[in-house]
Chains A and B, each alone.
Chain A
Amino acid sequence: MIKVHIDLNLCQSHGECVAIAPDLFQLDENDFISWQEEVDDSRRADLEAAVNTCPMTAIRIEG
């Protein structure tokens, strides 16, 4: 499993991660981010794309 962290001090709700993997990342009606904190290894490519496309470099993955 891959652990996903988002630094909420950095996140500015751009929604890049939501566009890449809408099943793993969501914005609520106030544009606050929520996400799946443990993700199967099969989704590594999506997670890496999210990490590298986040304008605030707020996403970190582990494992």
Chain B
Amino acid sequence: MRLVIVGASLSGLRAAQAARRAGHEGELIVIGAEPHLPYTRPPLSKELLQGKQEIEDSALPVDELDVQWRLGTEATGLDRTRRRVRLQDGGEEHYDRLIIATGCRARRFDGPGAHLDGVHTLRTLEDAVALRAALASTRRLLVVGAGFIGCEVAASARSLGVEVTMVDIASHPLVPFGPALGKRWAQMHRDHGVELRLGPGLEALYGDTGSERVAGARLSDGTSVEADTVLIALGATLNTEWLTGSGLELDPGVACDPTLTSTRDPEILAAGDIASVPAALAGGARVRVEHWTTAAEHGQLAGRNALVAHDERTAHTAPPYFWTDQYDAKIQALGCPALAEHSELLELSPDGGRFVAACVQGRLVVGVVAVNAARRLAWYRRALQTPRPLTELKEALAQEDATLGSPVGAMP
């Protein structure tokens, strides 16, 4: 059996490792658009940018994995009839089973001034190296987009002494952690000296007359922001163009059943950012999760499932887990906090620096957000294997004697 994995990042690597561990003895080919062996991206916006880690530290251990790597070449097409992946370098790879893990790329700004020098995105190792070099001589950084990448880069830049303005059209930063905690994240960035502009969007970037170097940005509210470096952090675009015309169902991710098998072809599975998979927390609707842990879990499951017949494959059931490190806060989340209508504080440390909040939709807890409370989060992870009503979760919590402390008063 010839197993081909398209995508040589975390998910693709975990799939290859899992397939070998599960006893796959046939050919194993991993195709990657980037020239590198697999590396981990979370440090790129944090430790690497802050100079606490070097490039080689982000390499993922590949060990003695018996894989034929096809690196530095993109997949450009999929012919399911002939079971072939077409490659940018003109080659083809025949597969018996295929795992699609091509992930995302950084979404770019396509308005005026997008071409100017000093305008960055952050997704790849090269992006991080270029941004790190730029920050060394940056006076004011403009971050466009206050999601994970934007907020982490803002925090890293502040730790380097760079002045930061961050803009987002949303009413609060870090939308994936849900609406109720948004004010807290906004205050955290302002407390660390970030000029946060919520509401206006980016209209145009401009340079000084006669210069190809960015000097600032015009926002949709008519104001301007001066900046000598700009990070565009507007989220991600799916790498699915090569699947156009393949007949696979794109929604716009690769539509899968709970076993990560594509809905139209049992020989093809998907994993990571581009896999669109039914989720219990979303009432069975298909959800795409663009987070590290899901990519790792999907990869491991897809690698095992690809070796067996469709009816012997197991389902992915773990709720999403994701985190961010900004300043001195480790913010961790379970489930889908962004679906919540409101939040309720469940635990609070006496000094107020650590807490756990439930994110609630109707009666159900759809997510949990914890700040500097990793040990407690592990408890919630076991308690929330399946969606539960808030009342039930609180009853279980009342039996716990090792909580951070009872919340008194309003949300932190």
Contact = CB atoms under 8 A, between A and B. Distances in A.
A27 B374 contact: yes
A36 interface: no
Nearest to B42: A55
Interface stretch (B94-102, B139-147, B355-363, B376-384): B376-384
Interface in B360-375: 372-375
Contacts, number: 54
A1 B304 CA distance: 25
Contact of A12 (B21, B61, B293, B330): B330
B372 A16 contact: no
Q: Which 3 A-B pairs have the closest CB atoms?
A: A27-B375, A13-B374, A15-B378
A24 B17 CA distance: 23
A16 B321 contact: yes
A55 B14 contact: no
Given A12-B330, A16-B321, A55 B293 contact: yes
A56 B381 CA distance: 19
B359 to A, nearest CB: 18
B40 A57 contact: yes
A41 interface: no
B325 interface: yes
Contacts of B332: 14-15
B14 A52 contact: yes
A13 B377 CA distance: 10
- Chain B's interface: helix, strand, loop or mixed, by majority? helix
B296 A53 contact: yes
Contacts of B372: 31
Interface string A17-52: 011001000011101000000000000000011001
B297 interface: yes
Contact of B375 (A29, A52, A53, A55): A29
Contacts of A16: 293, 321
Q: How large is the interface on A (under 10, 10 to 19, 20 to 34, 35 or more residues)?
A: 10 to 19
Contact of B330 (A13, A27, A52, A53): A13
Contacts of B300: 49, 52-53
Contacts of A19: 378, 381-382
Given A27-B378, A53-B293, A57-B40, 8 more contacts: A15-B378, A18-B378, A19-B382, A53-B297, A55-B40, A55-B293, A55-B296, A57-B60
A12 B372 CA distance: 11
Given A53-B296, A55-B292, A15 B374 contact: yes
Interface residues of B, number: 27
27 contacts: A12-B330, A13-B374, A13-B375, A14-B374, A15-B375, A15-B377, A15-B378, A16-B293, A18-B378, A19-B378, A22-B382, A27-B374, A27-B375, A27-B378, A29-B375, A31-B374, A48-B21, A52-B14, A52-B18, A53-B293, A53-B296, A53-B297, A53-B300, A55-B42, A55-B323, A57-B40, A57-B60
B401 to A, nearest CB: 12
A35 B267 CA distance: 40
B332 to A, nearest CB: 7
A16 B378 CA distance: 8
B42 A31 contact: no
Contacts of A12: 325, 330
A48 B300 CA distance: 10
A52 B296 contact: yes
B66 to A, nearest CB: 17
B373 A31 contact: yes
B237 to A, nearest CB: 24
Contacts of B410: none
A41 to B, nearest CB: 14
A54 to B, nearest CB: 9
B17 A52 contact: yes
